Amino acid sequence: MFNFQQDPFENFELGLAAATESGLLEPIAMQLATVGTRSTLPLPSVRTVLFKGIVRGGFSFYTNYESQKALEIAENPRASALFFWNQMEQQIRISGQVEKLTRAESENYFKTRPRISQLGAWASAQSQNLDSYETLEKKFQDTEQRYNGQEIPCPPQWGGYHLLPSSFEFWFGKTGRLHERYFYQRDSISSPWKKSMKFP
């Protein structure tokens, strides 16, 4: 049950637990928006990543450090994320600073991934041009042969981030578009949360 008086992280955990128990297909799906700075007209880009838990006060996710999102984060380490649970008519928006996880944290998580996903992390030059799908399949097969019967190490170009929130917004859909919006904001990671409501 949402409680406007408590910490937003606690409210997020309650919402995620309810979404998980409701049987939603992928409640940890998180839309991540980034903006690079290299272009003369920087445009936001958004994609879906999987939320992998709160790590040291931030929302963690993993990717190739040479992907588009990683390059944009390197240029501009600020991002926004969205959890949208349509069947529950709820969404949570989060914005803040993005930082890399430690190498040890990335390697420890990598060990928990299915072997096919570990192989894929080596085979895919994420976001780079690909001449054909057959090329990707060949790279995967070569990687599979390379590590046949061996433990697969975490690639140096692969690892995690965490998004350290400076704001949260909890949205609850209501009939007649009289939605409820609860907003939390803080000036720094160590600052107290300021709470407010917004018109829908």
Per-residue pLDDT tens over the stretch 76-129: 999 999 999 999 999 999 999 999 999 999 999 999 999 999 999 999 999 889
Per-residue confidence (pLDDT) for residue 54, from 0 to 100 = 98
Per-residue confidence (pLDDT) for residue 162, from 0 to 100 = 98
CA dist 35 and 68 (Å) reads: 10
Per-residue confidence (pLDDT) for residue 93, from 0 to 100 = 98
Per-residue confidence (pLDDT) for residue 171, from 0 to 100 = 98
Per-residue confidence (pLDDT) for residue 63, from 0 to 100 = 97
CA dist 158 and 62 (Å) reads: 8
Q: For helices 115-123 and 133-146, what crossing angle results, to 10°?
A: 120
Per-residue confidence (pLDDT) for residue 1, from 0 to 100 = 79
| Token pair in block for residue 121 | 């992390």
> What residues act catalytically?
177
Residues of the chain with pLDDT under 70: 39-40
The alpha-carbon radius of gyration of the chain (Å, integer) is 19
Element (H, E) at 166: strand 158-172
Is pTM beyond 0.85? Reply is yes
CA dist 63 and 80 (Å) reads: 16
Terminal Cα-to-Cα distance of the chain (whole angstroms): 20
The residue type of 182 is: Y
Per-residue confidence (pLDDT) for residue 147, from 0 to 100 = 96
